[in-house]
C-alpha cells in the first residue's frame, strides 16, 4: 500500500489539491460542530485530519526533500516539500482551536493541540534531518495554548503541559 501511495504522490499532480479539499471539508465540519455544540463530530473531524497527516507523512517518509525555509532563508530553519499539506493542516487546527476557545470548549481545544503534537512527533520520526521540521507544529501548538490560556481555559495548558512532558521525546 505504501508503494502505491508513493507512486500516486509522485505521478498525480492533483493529489495535493485533492488532499487540500478533503482537509478543508474536515476543518469546516469541525468548526461548524464546535459552533453547534456537537463536540463528538468535531473530535472525529480533528481525528480524521490527524490520521490523514500521519498517513501522508508515513507514505512520504522515503521520498521527501528538505530545503531552507523560504520566508527566513538565513535562519537555519528547514522545511520540506510536504509542507504544502502540513501548513494547511496547521492553519486549520489553529482556526478550530480559535473557534473552540471562543466557545469556551476545552475538550476541542485540547484535541486540536494534541493533533499538532502527534503530527510533530510523526515528523520527528521520519529520519535524517526530519526532527528539524518540528519547529512549525511546535510554534502552532504554542499559539493554540496561549489563546486558550488568555481565555482562561486553565485545563488546556495544564493538560498540554503533561501531554508534552510525556510525549516529547521526538519533539525537543
Per residue in 29-38, pLDDT tens? 999 999 999 9
Pick the more confident residue, 11 or 95.
95
pLDDT at 39 exceeding the cut of 70: yes
Alpha helices per DSSP H over 12-150: 15-36, 39-60, 83-102, 106-124, 135-150
pLDDT at 44: 97
pLDDT at 131: 66
Question: The whole model's pTM is what?
Answer: 0.82
Pick the more confident residue, 49 or 158.
49
Per residue in 53-83, pLDDT tens? 998 888 777 767 666 666 666 665 666 667 8
| Cβ within 8 Å of residue 121, ≥6 positions away | 167, 170, 171
- Dihedral, CA of residue 74, residue 78, residue 81 and residue 85, to nearest 10: -110
In angstroms, what CA-CA distances link 31 with 25, 60, 101, 105, 151? 10, 28, 11, 12, 18
Alpha helices per DSSP H over 63-127: 83-102, 106-124
Amino acid at each position: 500500500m505504501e508503494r502505491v501511495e508513493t507512486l500516486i504522490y509522485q505521478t498525480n499532480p492533483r493529489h495535493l489539491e485533492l488532499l487540500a479539499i478533503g482537509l478543508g471539508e474536515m476543518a469546516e465540519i469541525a468548526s461548524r460542530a464546535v459552533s453547534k455544540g456537537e463536540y463528538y463530530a468535531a473530535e472525529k473531524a480533528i481525528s480524521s485530519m490527524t490520521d490523514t497527516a500521519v498517513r501522508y507523512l508515513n507514505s512520504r517518509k522515503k521520498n521527501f526533500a528538505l530545503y531552507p525555509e523560504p520566508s527566513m532563508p538565513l535562519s537555519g530553519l528547514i522545511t520540506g516539500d510536504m509542507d504544502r499539506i502540513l501548513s494547511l493542516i496547521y492553519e486549520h487546527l489553529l482556526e478550530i482551536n480559535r473557534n473552540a476557545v471562543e466557545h469556551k470548549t476545552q475538550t476541542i481545544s485540547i484535541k486540536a493541540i494534541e493533533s499538532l503534537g502527534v503530527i510533530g512527533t510523526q515528523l520527528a520520526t521520519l529520519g535524517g534531518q526530519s526532527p528539524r521540521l518540528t519547529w512549525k507544529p511546535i510554534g502552532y501548538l504554542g499559539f493554540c495554548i496561549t489563546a486558550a490560556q488568555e481565555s482562561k481555559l486553565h485545563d488546556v495548558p495544564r493538560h498540554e503541559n503533561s501531554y508534552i512532558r510525556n510525549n516529547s521525546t521526538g519533539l525537543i
